[in-house]
Amino acid sequence: MSPTDPNALASNLSGMSKHDASTPIAELGRRSKAASRALATASTEQKNHALHAAADRLVVSSDAVLSANAVDVTRAEADGVSSTVVDRLRLDEKRIASMAGGLRQVASLADPVGEIIDGWVRPNGLRISRVRVPLGVIAIIYENRPNVTSDAAGLCLKAGNAAFLRGSSGAIDSNIAIETVLRSAITEASLPADSVILVADTSREAAVEFMRQRDTIDCLIPRGGPSLIASILENATVPYVIDGDGNCHVYVDVDADLEMAIQIIVNAKMQRPSVCNAAETLLVHRDVAGEFLSRAVSALAGVELRADQRALEFLPGATLATEEDWSTEFLDLTLAVGIVDDLDAAVEHIARNGSGHSEAIVTRSLEAADRFTHEVDAAAVLVNASTRFVDGEEFGFGAEIGISTQKLHARGPMGLRELTTAKFIVRGQGQTRG
């Protein structure tokens, strides 16, 4: 078999897949659980070996993966899927190299498993410690990006978890090809192939069944839009972490460095408007509103502004914001702009309209900074910095599996630590309870 013969490789790859769409999901779950037990005690070296092997094999097998991907792309185009979606689906040598690079990057990160979180001794002599351990089986439901198959599997594996994956029907050929490469690489490190299992049945019924595998799934992380989240809220019985919307605000305080504030809102809104940590609303203290907005308007050229009555005065090209605009995550070059009387009003506006993702204040006032960080309830609160920094890479986690907007388990960017749980270890000398 030569890597220059994609058909031979593709056929070989599908032969390596250990399951098909007819395998019951509960059975796949049991296999995933069994694999998770081996992974939980695997050494860092073994896990890194598997990640490097997976990276190498992805590159070597790129022709096969690309020919599987071509099937998905052709089908999507025939189905008249939008060019944005086709673009997300399409792989090329560069994207495969980037997936491989991601796996090597995860291999280079510190292993979170075994970290002693804290520990103490009780008056009766019991020594208690809390140790970081893998979650077990992490399930991921995701949409059309086939790179998630390798990105998510790599993160799960490094943290000692089995990855139980359910991608979309649109990317199924790509996903199976990638899963097959990963599974064979993992066995090279003497870890179970079932450390990564992709559910090949892409029906809605299978998705619902998947999110109810309470005996085997320890944590479900959805990567998708509102309809997926709604389905999880309605149907899931397994524990999950939601990666939700980001309706992020930048508040320009009366004591702001206005030039800094312009840089920050321009960056927060315009650097990458389609992502969850981009700003959606600008709030300005009334005493600096005139000067600030007059200067900001040219820096924000190209951004559609939706302003409240008072801000309209300084923003000639803006339209009047509707009530709905304040709670909308535009995800494009649109910005709601409001003038507030003081910091209290800004905090109140954010409490009413924010989604608890990332909120920024620009100020030179220590008191304003302290009050804002204390009173605003969000995963991240920033002082004099762009909301765009709220991200696993930028926080130094090395990689992220998502950004949690819920408060349980993980809040904000989720790195390897968030893919673990803790175990209490209690050491005694025969103590019994009186």
What's 303's DSSP letter? Answer: P
Nearer to a second copy, 27 or 377 (CB): 377
Nearer to a second copy, 6 or 222 (CB): 222
β-sheet bridge partners, residue 141: 166, 222
Rounded least distance, CB 388 to a second copy, Å: 4
CB of 348 vs a second copy, minimal distance in Å: 9
> What's the token pair of residue 329?
């995550």
Q: Which of 140, 226, 190 is nearest to 39 (CA)?
A: 190
Could you give the 3-state DSSP secondary structure of residue 372? helix
Q: Which is nearer to a second copy, 133 or 193 (CB)?
A: 133
> How far is it, in rounded angstroms, from Cα 178 to Cα 96?
10
Would you say 18 or 407 has its CB closer to a second copy? 407
The secondary structure of 10-65 as a DSSP string is HHHHHHH----TTS-HHHHHHHHHHHHHHHHT--HHHHHHHHHHHHHHHHHTHHHH
Q: Least distance in Å: CB of 48 to a second copy?
A: 19
| Biggest CA-to-CA distance, the chain | 78
**DSSP per-residue letters across 324-346:** GGGG----SSEEEEEEESSHHHH
DSSP, collapsed to helix, strand or coil, labels residue 401 as coil
21/233 with CB nearer a second copy:
233
283: left (phi over 0), alpha (psi -120 to 50) or beta: beta
Nearest alpha carbon to residue 412 among 167, 294, 160, 244: 244
Distance, first Cα to last Cα, the chain: 70
Least separation in angstroms between CB 358 and a second copy:
9
In the complex, least distance from residue 318 CB atom to a second copy, rounded to whole angstroms: 23
Please say which residue, 141 or 178, places its beta carbon nearer to a second copy.
141
- CB closer to a second copy out of 322 and 431: 431
What angle in degrees, to the nearest 10, is found between the helix axes of 44-60 and 147-158? 160
Least Å from the CB of residue 187 to a second copy: 22
Closer by beta carbon to a second copy, 223 or else 310: 223
Minimum gap (Å) between residue 177 Cβ and a second copy: 32
Q: Least distance in Å: CB of 123 to a second copy? A: 8
Work out the angle between the directed axes of helices 172-188 and 6-16 (0-180°, nearest 10). Answer: 70
Q: Nearer to a second copy by C-beta: 71 or 258? A: 258
CA nearest 177: which of 139, 143, 146?
A: 146
Amino acid symbol at 96:
I
- Asked whether the beta carbons of 181 and 54 are under 8 A apart, the reply is yes
Separation between Cα atoms, residue 254 and residue 296, nearest integer Å:
15
Q: Shortest approach of a second copy to residue 241 CB, angstroms?
A: 7
Question: Angle 157-246-264 (CA atoms, 0-180°, nearest 5)?
Answer: 105
- Angle, CA of 178, 169 and 213, to the nearest 5°: 85
**Least separation, in Å, of the C-beta of 120 and a second copy?**
7
> Based on CB atoms, which residue is closest to a second copy, 96 or 303?
303
Residue number, 143 or 257, with CB nearest to a second copy: 257
Chain residues in the site for a second copy (CB under 8 A): 37, 40-41, 120, 122, 126, 128, 133, 135-136, 214, 218-219, 233-234, 237, 239, 241, 257, 260, 263-264, 266-268, 271, 351, 369, 373-375, 377-386, 388-390, 394-396, 406-409, 411-413, 421-433
Which three-class secondary structure state does DSSP give residue 142? strand
Question: Least distance in Å: CB of 423 to a second copy?
Answer: 6
Give the amino acid at 90: R
Min dist CB 184 to a second copy, Å, is 27
Rounded Cα gap, residues 223 and 147, in angstroms: 12
**Nearer to a second copy by C-beta: 339 or 378?**
378
